[in-house]
Structure 1
Amino acid sequence: MKQYLLSIYQPDGNPPPPDVLEPIMAELGKLNDEMKAAGAWVFAAGLHPPSTATVIRDKDGDALLTDGPFTEGKEHLGGFTIVQAADLDEALSWGSRLAGVLAPLAIEVRPIAW
């Protein structure tokens, strides 16, 4: 089986208030449990805001560190799930389910190159 990265993109800014976020997180927990039961779930994580990021570039053999996200934008990577799937269609099916739970957020599905 191949592994796929399901990237969750979200707008910059504060998260939704608890009365909005809690039901979404409950549905996400159910979907994660379903992925686990199906043997598809490998790993998932949420990320801290992009302002906590540090970008490292090599400059003549020295590490050059810069605060903040790699790119500026109105959306950022907020979290991800890694799934095992027989093929892209199966991975897209899980990605579609995730998009349904997290609507209107976008989900990007990409194969992992091992």
Structure 2
Amino acid sequence: MKYVIMIHSNPQPWGHPTADYLAAHQELPEDVRHRLNADFEQVMTELQANGELIGGEALGDPAAARLYRWRDGAPLASDGPYSEAKEHLAGFFLVDVEDRARAEQVAARFAGPGETVELRPVMWSGGPDQ
């Protein structure tokens, strides 16, 4: 089953890994920060070794985003991101795992201080959406 793990964050300034730019992460004791970084590297290694990681990317600064909306019968471009957004999509990982329980186990390991992790199944033609 394929899932997208989306990392939402709002560091100022924008940078990756986003945790390095978040006060909640920076305020942690150094040994805790090192453990969290090691845990992340471990889950990435595990996903790659198991063939569960399909891919992923960090995303650039939301200030560089362009939004396209349909208006008056045509697409209209404007500067992004959504002005009311408190968190922005910082990056994503696409995984192919045995079941939802495994996806939830993996997504929980991506969560960190000051970030929100969203897990969502991938839909495909004729496939389930949950």
Give me the TM-score of the superposition, normalised by structure 1: 0.79
Counterparts of 1:37-48 in structure 2 under 5 Å?
37-48=49-60
**Greater strand content:** 1
- Note the aligned Cα RMSD (angstroms): 2.2
**8 Å Cα contact 2:39-2:109 kept in structure 1:** no
Identify the residue that residue 57 of structure 1 maps to in structure 2.
69
- Structure label with greater radius of gyration: 2
3-state DSSP class of the match of 1:69?
A: coil
3-state DSSP class of the match of 1:90?
A: helix
3-state DSSP class of the match of 2:104?
A: helix
Tell me, yes or no, if structure 1 residue 106 matches structure 2 residue 105.
no
3-state DSSP class of the match of 1:79?
A: strand
Give me the TM-score of the superposition, normalised by structure 2: 0.71
Q: CA separation in 2, counterparts of 1:61 and 1:44? A: 34
Query: Structure 2, unaligned stretches of length 5 or more?
Result: 27-32, 125-130
Q: CA separation in 2, counterparts of 1:35 and 1:84? A: 9
Instruction: Using the TM superposition, give the Cα deviation of residue 59 of structure 1 relative to its aligned residue in structure 2, in angstroms.
Output: 2.4
Q: CA separation in 1, counterparts of 2:48 and 2:6? A: 18
% identical aligned pairs: 30
Query: Structure 1, unaligned stretches of length 5 or more?
Result: none
